[in-house]
Amino acid sequence: MLKVDNVKKAFGPVTVLDGVNLTIKPGEVVSILGSSGSGKSTLIRCINGLERLNGGRITVDDFDVGKPKELSEARKRSATVFQLFNLYPHMTVLGNVTLAPIEVLKKPRAEADATARALLQSVGLGDRADAYPAQLSGGQRQRVGICRALAMQPRYLLLDEVTSALDPEMTAEVLAILAKLAAEGTTMLFVTHEIEFARQISNRIVFLDKGKLLVDLPTAEFFAAEGGMANPRIAQFLSKMRKD
């Protein structure tokens, strides 16, 4: 269970997260929607321990992210895919995917290589294992980013606007893989602007607005007129997003 408990985060005078509560059970796909600056990415950065909390608690399978001694265990249980890929440019695709399994999970190189190659195969990059990130397209890079996360066999996959830097074609490439993962029962926390896609794959949808969690509803309810849409802020957001 991934638990976000009354989390507060401020950058100087600016409050970014203002008492957020969220629980994700294994097997769930939860999408976080909200306009830019609503605190979505910051929430992900808090969960994977990149930001220090100003209040509240985040636990990943009972390991407290805020405690330095438990952070490394918590980090082993989740893996992040980044908006701008954040690949290591000096390493080949294979090197990118195997670094953490070898160094953190202490897997033998042969085993890590085999896992990585299988993962790359499954996202259609079987023949690019020895390429460098600079030689790949954006969509390919993000698929590598996903493989890098999956190679850690995470219990929770954190996806931070993973398609925001991609054109529609590449977005489709990446979303197809995520849909497959969702179907396989991967637990995912999915920060996105792809509302239709979120609707298709999520069990629940969470709406963040100005650092506050406005609603946390099962997907069907979120889009129902008497559910999430009853909230004027959400109705406004969705109507604007759907115009394009």
- Which region, judged by CB under 8 A, interacts with another protein, from 44-52, 175-183, 206-214, 227-235? 44-52
Residue 103 binds to another protein (criterion: CB under 8 A): yes
Window 142-181: residues binding another protein (CB under 8 A): 148, 152
Among 38, 48, 115, 142, binds another protein (CB under 8 A): 48
Residue 46 binds to another protein (criterion: CB under 8 A): no
Cα of first residue to Cα of last residue in the chain, in angstroms, is 36
Residue 72 binds to another protein (criterion: CB under 8 A): yes
Among 172, 230, 162, 192, CA closest to 36: 192
The DSSP-derived string for the chain is -EEEEEEEEEETTEEEEEEEEEEE-TT-EEEEE--TTSSHHHHHHHHTTSS--SEEEEEETTEETTSHHHHHHHHHHEEEE-TT----TTS-HHHHHHHHHHHTS---HHHHHHHHHHHHHHTT-GGGTTS-GGGS-HHHHHHHHHHHHHTT--SEEEEESTTTTS-HHHHHHHHHHHHHHHHTT--EEEE-S-HHHHHHH-SEEEEEETTEEEEEEEHHHHHSTTTGGGSHHHHHHHHHHHH-
Residue 89 binds to another protein (criterion: CB under 8 A): yes
Of 77 and 199, the one with the shorter C-beta distance to another protein is 77
CB of 127 vs another protein, minimal distance in Å: 18
Residue 91 binds to another protein (criterion: CB under 8 A): yes
Of 130 and 167, the one with the shorter C-beta distance to another protein is 130
Residue 100 binds to another protein (criterion: CB under 8 A): yes
CB of 17 vs another protein, minimal distance in Å: 18
Of 136 and 178, the one with the shorter C-beta distance to another protein is 136
Among 29, 33, 46, 79, binds another protein (CB under 8 A): 79
Of 151 and 201, the one with the shorter C-beta distance to another protein is 151
Residue 76 binds to another protein (criterion: CB under 8 A): yes
**Taking CA 158 as the corner, what is the angle to CA 156 and CA 161, rounded to the nearest 5 degrees?**
160
Cβ of 61: how many Cβ atoms within 10 Å?
15
Residue 90 binds to another protein (criterion: CB under 8 A): yes
- Which region, judged by CB under 8 A, interacts with another protein, from 9-17, 78-86, 108-116, 166-174? 78-86
Binding site for another protein (CB under 8 A): 48-50, 72, 75-76, 79-80, 82, 84, 86-92, 99-100, 103-104, 132, 134-135, 148, 152
